[in-house]
Amino acid sequence: MTEHFIGGRFVESHGKEVMEIHNPATGELIGLATLGDEVDTERAIAAAKAAFVTWSKTTLEERKVWLQRLADAITERMDDLKAITIAEYGAPAVFTDYIVDQARDFFIFAQDLLKPENFEIRQGLSTIQKLPIGVAGLMTPWNGSPWFVCEKAASALAAGCTVVMKPSELSPLQSKVLMECFKQAGLPAGVINLVNGRGDIVGNTITRSPNVEKISFTGSTRVGKMIASQASERMKRVTLELGGKSPTIILDDAEMGKAVEFALMVGLMNTGQSCTAGTRILVPKSRLDEIKQYLKTGIENLQIGDPSKRDTVIQPMVSAAHYERVQGYIRKGISEGAEVLIGGEGKPVGFENGNYVKPTVFVGVTNDMVIAREEIFGPVLCVITYDGDDEAVRIANDTDYGLYAYVFGADAERAQGIANHLLSGCVSVNEFIIDPAAPFGGFKLSGIGREFGIAGLESYLETRVILSR
């Protein structure tokens, strides 16, 4: 992969650094990607800036047609995109289906937002207009790359912005298929641009550019802070979707077998490589022994293995470096005095070639331990006991993050009552739901702003008021 997508065509990379891409499940070398540099990025920004002049003036009906063409182009390449997501990222087949199907669907959902009242309303003596803000820089992580790229692109394009995307440098083969889809959709040259490359080079150039008005970033809180600080130089609008350390509160009236099944599902989704993973499991002290038993059996029954198989639940970590990072946290938990209930350091037997981590559950965790405070982004769960609902809420909210939270209990009204006290962008009660029409985003270090639906669209719009009689 030696090209970027700039100005409606594939362009040889000016940057010359070459990165090896390994299948995370086998360690096998599956590709080489040439990474872009400042010159590639500036070219993409210039193309987007030129295209903005006409794209921002397109009608809502015209934009609907283009969004549908993008959805159709992805539909045609569905199988290729799924296959490469499994090979390059290691996402299990069932999860990959969700990522890629919804990546396409974002271009369909966005069409529903294209209603005149979302762009202009009359209120008293004011005509309130929502204008596309300009060129949008979209930077995305590796944990479901097509999903993030398409979600941001759909909202930005619907708003009338042109885009420069920088997906994770760990996802270039997924980006290649997406670029082919963009080419196939045939949008006017420069409306969509994609540069592969590193964050500190391509990402930084986008953030600093005077020709990019909006940054929408999904990734770590560490990088989000840098972007917020750099973007403030020009008062750039930013949407930051960052990390999480989500609590799952199991209430004492829950049927514990079901509650633990739920906690494992939300804690280990995407093998913990998920910003919404419920990695702090808060359990009533009086039910701990029973819960431990269910956790042990639940983990023992999880299918670890080949991501292309439909029954696989536990996948490898995306890279060897990330595997090492997760191992460091497991060692940290042990050194902090937490007890390994199941799992622990090293690779599961039979999976020595891939970046597999043993699904690990720590008990005896207190909420001040590093493993309970920092985002591990792997299959490592902390069980923390509480005494009474008030303490459960206090521990749940005692975190620097606030992206997602879960409550599970038999009495739905009581569970809903607990949900009302949680400081979190989303709280799921008794099931895991992602509603693509509801605002998504976090409190505190989990970010700034909201994506999805009308909130997502508005994040790419600037307001002008015309006052007249």
Burial class (CB in 10 A: 0-12, 13-18, 19+), 257: middle
The CA-atom distances, in angstroms, between 135 and each of 279, 431, 454 are 36, 38, 19
Residue among 7 and 425 whose Cβ is closer to ligand NAD: 425
Residue among 166 and 292 whose Cβ is closer to ligand NAD: 166
Separation between Cα atoms, residue 152 and residue 118, nearest integer Å: 18
Helix ranges restricted to H, 337-411: 370-373, 389-397
Quote the least distance from Cβ 412 to ligand NAD, whole Å: 27
Quote the least distance from Cβ 428 to ligand NAD, whole Å: 15
Any idea which residues carry the catalytic annotation?
Answer: 241, 275
Instruction: Compute the chain's Rg from CA coordinates.
Output: 23
User: Could you list the residues that contact ligand NAD (CB under 6 A)?
Assistant: 139-143, 166, 168-169, 198-200, 203-204, 207, 218-220, 223, 226-227, 241-244, 275, 375, 377, 403, 442, 447
DSSP-derived 3-state class of residue 123: strand
Kind and range of the H or E element at 121? strand 120-123
Q: Which residue sits closest to ligand NAD, CB atoms considered?
A: 199
The CA-atom distances, in angstroms, between 459 and each of 216, 234, 425 are 9, 17, 16
For residue 465, the cross-strand partners are 128
Quote the least distance from Cβ 375 to ligand NAD, whole Å: 5
290 alpha-carbon distance from chain centroid: 34
Quote the least distance from Cβ 143 to ligand NAD, whole Å: 5
Residue among 137 and 190 whose Cβ is closer to ligand NAD: 137
- What string of DSSP letters covers 64-99? HHHHHHHHHHHHHTHHHHHHHHHHHH---HHHHHHH
Quote the least distance from Cβ 16 to ligand NAD, whole Å: 18
Residue among 192 and 254 whose Cβ is closer to ligand NAD: 192
Residue among 200 and 352 whose Cβ is closer to ligand NAD: 200
DSSP-derived pairing of the beta strands 426-429 and 278-284? unpaired
